[in-house]
């Protein structure tokens, strides 16, 4: 569930309280005039200007109801089936309530949710007074979207008994004594209770109105005034702090993305999908348990002055759900432009003396302050890459790899101009707004900075501007795209200040609305939305393609197509691509290191699809030991030294078996090496004299 505030943990209570219609009357939480006014403005604005045309009707009401329930109880462990049955009267009526700015259903449902969480936290605390038998063969089922709400209190109690038992076992596996375990978990559950007292009407309204926005698309959301302030803090965390983008996932704070060139990236200890369970400052020995905390509260603990240290207790995603937490330490710092700037390397294949140049682009940047001040030497992606290409030209490279992996985007202007370094002037991307108007962004400069064999390497985190560049070069037949299918974010968002739209002035601020207002399209007319850019040569992935990127988000805009605006002559024939693919298959099939990498990917897939955890300590320890032994055996084959930002192994060539020589240890990356191989294969059909590819490849 996207764009939601997790509302967990509540007031102490001693008895089971059934649903009552008067629950809201007993609560101090109720909608305000500002909430009703915000509802009016948001529904009106989105109905008029959102890119996706929609109707506020019964179908939307049913979807909104489902999203609101999911946002409150994503694990389906608080509400009972009888609660959902009681709420069913709202399923087809939320649309009518929205039109009347009536928010009563949201607060009534939340009042019941409060009661249920109070009961669960009370039960969890009581369980800590019991002894646990970890020799019994029983499993804790990890809840998923396909599981319905439990029918009886007995079933729910059994689920929570196992949940607490799993919490205890996880800390036992970290060699914590029981008194410390009891103290840690007691504080955790008490904190969940405490935090509900800090919830206010804005939290409920934001969650509810985002259930409406989320039915339209996952990137449209409402931010209350307080949340908008925290949003700015969260964004600054990627620029000053540890350099990580965080999100809430159930009770956990999860690393969504590591910012290239930031402290976390340079330290190499924290990776995408890792869960943060504890935080300590540099002079503290005791970690603060942050399971169940709000995202903004976790961010506040992580932020701090430059050059200070923060200690994080994490659950590494690469090691599964049944491992003990690990402690890491990161020095806070600002992300320097130099760390995010494009870099070049050269891979020399010693068996052939051929050289492949590599240009890595972490993001699409421009030093706007220097540009606006008239500095002729201002830094930008295009200017830096152009200089790197000139330097590589003097080093007699045979081919070039443009590495756009984990590049989440940036300046659209820079993406357009960068594509222009490899094609002659012409259209690069189309942008269609909600009115249907199409604007074409073009490379207006004639000339090409590099005309030789070109391979673009992408992965599932290549998004937005990266997809614009890779798709343009693919459509022009200028490059062979290799790697994983990209993220698939082909939409454009705008932040709207609701106070500027508020004609009926209210006493308090209304907040901000982030709305999807346009969509990107390739020059061939196809959207990059949802499908992403599909490589010409697809590398196997450690994740299910349908579960990451836009494809894994509820209500994402669908793939669509408009008219093509440019049909360039393809420089690379389909026969050439087929030939490259066959060479790739044969080469990797007999590459022991590459096959070991695929085995590691398979292990990671198994962990991601884990549906239950054994509560038998011996079995749990044996399963981890077997997995760890297999991991180490594969690591020995590959020569793994660290992990990449996605929690997968960082791949290092065994120094006893040198395959390549490269600047800055570029040889550590097996996938990049394979991309370089493909670029050199492409070079075999390159007619350097006539600056073109041969029509056929043998």
Q: What's the pLDDT at 685?
A: 74
What CATH number is given to the structural domain containing 440? 3.90.226.10
Q: What's the pLDDT at 226?
A: 75
What DSSP element (H or E) covers 221?
A: strand 221-223
What is the mean pLDDT of the segment spanning 501-526?
88
360-401: pLDDT as tens digits: 998 898 877 777 788 778 888 999 999 999 999 999 999 999
Inform me whether the pLDDT recorded for 5 exceeds 90: no
Q: Which of 343, 489, 593, 668 is catalytic?
A: 489
**Residues 309, 356 within the same domain:** no
Query: For the chain, what percentages of helix, strand and coil (3-state, to nearest 5) are there?
Result: 40, 20, 40
**Residues 129, 163 within the same domain:** yes
What is the mean pLDDT of the segment spanning 442-467?
92
**Residues 293, 315 within the same domain:** yes
Helices 225-237, 295-302: inter-axial angle, 10-degree rounding: 40
Structural domains in the chain (count) = 3
Q: Which of 380, 406, 464, 527 is catalytic?
A: 464
20-66: pLDDT as tens digits: 444 444 456 889 999 999 999 999 999 999 999 999 999 999 999 99
**Residues 499, 570 within the same domain:** yes
| pTM recorded for the entire structure | 0.83
Q: What's the pLDDT at 687?
A: 60
Instruction: In whole angstroms, give the CA distance from residue 242 to residue 557.
Output: 32
C-alpha closest to that of 328 among 317, 316, 312, 310: 312
Residue finishing a domain among 315, 334, 353 = 334
Tell me if residue 489 is catalytic: yes
Residue 7 forms part of a structural domain: no
Burial pattern 156-166, b for ≥16 Cβ within 10 A else e, equals beebbbbbbbb
Q: Which of 167, 203, 274, 475 is catalytic?
A: 475
Q: What's the pLDDT at 2?
A: 38
Inform me whether the pLDDT recorded for 14 exceeds 70: no
Instruction: In whole angstroms, give the CA distance from residue 660 to residue 638.
Output: 14
Domain containing 70 equals 33-216
**Residues 426, 366 within the same domain:** yes
Tell me if residue 203 is catalytic: no
The band of 316, judged by pLDDT with boundaries at 50, 70 and 90, is: confident
**Residues 307, 366 within the same domain:** no
Tell me if residue 353 is catalytic: no
Q: What's the pLDDT at 12?
A: 26
User: What does residue 150 show for φ and ψ, rounded to 5 degrees?
Assistant: -70, 145
Q: What's the pLDDT at 306?
A: 84
**Residues 408, 550 within the same domain:** yes
**Residues 324, 349 within the same domain:** no
**Residues 186, 229 within the same domain:** no
Average pLDDT in the chain = 84
The band of 172, judged by pLDDT with boundaries at 50, 70 and 90, is: very high
Q: CB 395: neighbour CB atoms within 10 A?
A: 10
400-422: pLDDT as tens digits: 999 999 898 888 999 999 999 99
Is 244 or 385 the better-scoring residue by pLDDT?
385
Residue 2 forms part of a structural domain: no
**Residues 413, 325 within the same domain:** no
Using an 8 Å Cβ cutoff, are 268 and 307 in contact? no
**Residues 443, 301 within the same domain:** no
177-187: pLDDT as tens digits: 989 999 999 98
Residue 178 forms part of a structural domain: yes
Instruction: In whole angstroms, give the CA distance from residue 423 to residue 447.
Output: 7
Of 46-60, 88-102, 220-234, 254-268, the least confident:
220-234
Residue 27 forms part of a structural domain: no
């Amino acid at each position: 569930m996207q764009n939601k505030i997790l509302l967990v943990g509540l007031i102490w209570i001693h008895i089971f309280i059934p649903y009552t219609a008067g629950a809201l009357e007993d609560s101090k939480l109720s909608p305000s005039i500002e909430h009703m006014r915000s509802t009016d403005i948001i529904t009106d604005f989105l109905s008029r200007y959102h890119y996706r045309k929609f109707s506020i009707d019964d179908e939307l009401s049913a979807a909104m109801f489902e999203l609101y329930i999911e946002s409150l109880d994503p694990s389906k462990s608080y509400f009972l089936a009888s609660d959902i049955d009681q709420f069913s009267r709202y399923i087809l009526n939320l649309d009518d309530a929205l039109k009347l700015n009536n928010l009563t259903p949201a607060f009534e449902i939340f009042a019941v949710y409060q009661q249920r969480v109070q009961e669960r936290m009370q039960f969890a605390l009581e369980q800590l007074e019991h002894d646990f038998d970890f020799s019994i063969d029983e499993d804790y089922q990890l809840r998923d979207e396909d599981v319905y709400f439990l029918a009886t209190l007995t079933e729910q109690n059994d689920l929570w008994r196992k949940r607490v038992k799993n919490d205890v076992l996880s800390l036992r596996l970290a060699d914590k004594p029981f008194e410390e375990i009891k103290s840690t978990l007691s504080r955790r559950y008490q904190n969940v209770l405490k935090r509900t007292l800090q919830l206010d009407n804005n939290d409920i309204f934001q969650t509810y109105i985002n259930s409406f926005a989320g039915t339209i698309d996952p990137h449209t959301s409402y931010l209350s005034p307080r949340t908008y302030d925290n949003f700015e803090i969260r964004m600054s965390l990627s620029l000053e702090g540890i350099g990580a983008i965080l999100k809430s996932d159930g009770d956990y704070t999860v690393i969504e993305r590591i910012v290239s060139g930031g402290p976390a990236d340079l330290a190499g200890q924290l990776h995408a999908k890792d869960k943060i369970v504890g935080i300590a400052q540099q002079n503290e020995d005791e970690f603060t348990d942050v399971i169940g905390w709000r995202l903004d509260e976790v961010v506040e603990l992580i932020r701090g002055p430059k050059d200070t240290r923060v200690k994080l207790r994490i659950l590494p995603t690469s090691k599964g759900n049944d491992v003990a937490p690990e402690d890491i330490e990161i020095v806070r710092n600002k992300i320097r432009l130099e760390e995010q700037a494009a870099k070049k390397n050269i891979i020399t294949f010693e068996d052939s003396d051929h050289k492949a140049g590599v240009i890595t682009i972490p993001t699409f940047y421009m030093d706007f302050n220097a540009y606006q001040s008239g500095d002729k030497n201002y830094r930008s992606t295009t200017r830096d890459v152009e200089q790197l290409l000139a330097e590589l030209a003097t080093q007699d490279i045979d081919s070039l790899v443009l590495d756009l992996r984990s590049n989440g985007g940036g300046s659209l202007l820079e993406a357009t101009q960068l594509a222009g370094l490899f094609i002659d002037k012409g259209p690069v991307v189309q942008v269609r707004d909600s009115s249907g108007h199409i604007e074409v962004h073009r490379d207006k400069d004639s000339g090409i900075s590099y005309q030789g064999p070109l391979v673009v390497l992408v992965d599932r985190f290549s998004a937005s501007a990266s997809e614009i560049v890779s798709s343009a070069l693919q459509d022009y037949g200028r490059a062979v795209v290799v790697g994983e299918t990209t993220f698939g974010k082909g939409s454009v968002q705008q932040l709207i200040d609701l106070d500027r739209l508020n004609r009926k002035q209210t006493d308090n601020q209304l907040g901000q609305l982030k709305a999807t207002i346009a969509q990107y399209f390739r020059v061939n007319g196809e959207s990059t939305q949802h499908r992403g850019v599909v490589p010409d040569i697809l590398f196997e992935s450690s994740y299910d393609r349908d579960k990451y990127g836009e494809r894994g988000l509820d209500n994402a805009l669908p793939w669509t197509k408009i008219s093509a605006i440019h049909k360039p002559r393809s420089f690379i024939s389909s026969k050439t691509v087929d030939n490259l693919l066959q060479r790739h298959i044969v080469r990797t099939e007999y590459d022991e290191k590459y096959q070991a990498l695929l085995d590691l990917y398979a292990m990671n897939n198994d962990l991601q699809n884990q549906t239950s955890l054994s509560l038998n300590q011996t079995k749990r320890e044996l399963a981890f030991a077997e997995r760890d032994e297999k991991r180490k055996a594969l690591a020995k084959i590959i020569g793994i030294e660290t992990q990449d930002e996605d929690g997968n192994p960082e791949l290092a060539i065994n120094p006893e078996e040198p395959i390549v020589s490269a600047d800055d240890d570029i040889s550590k990356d097996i996938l990049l090496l394979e991309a370089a191989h493909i670029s050199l294969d492409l070079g075999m059909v390159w007619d350097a004299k006539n600056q073109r590819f041969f029509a056929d490849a043998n």
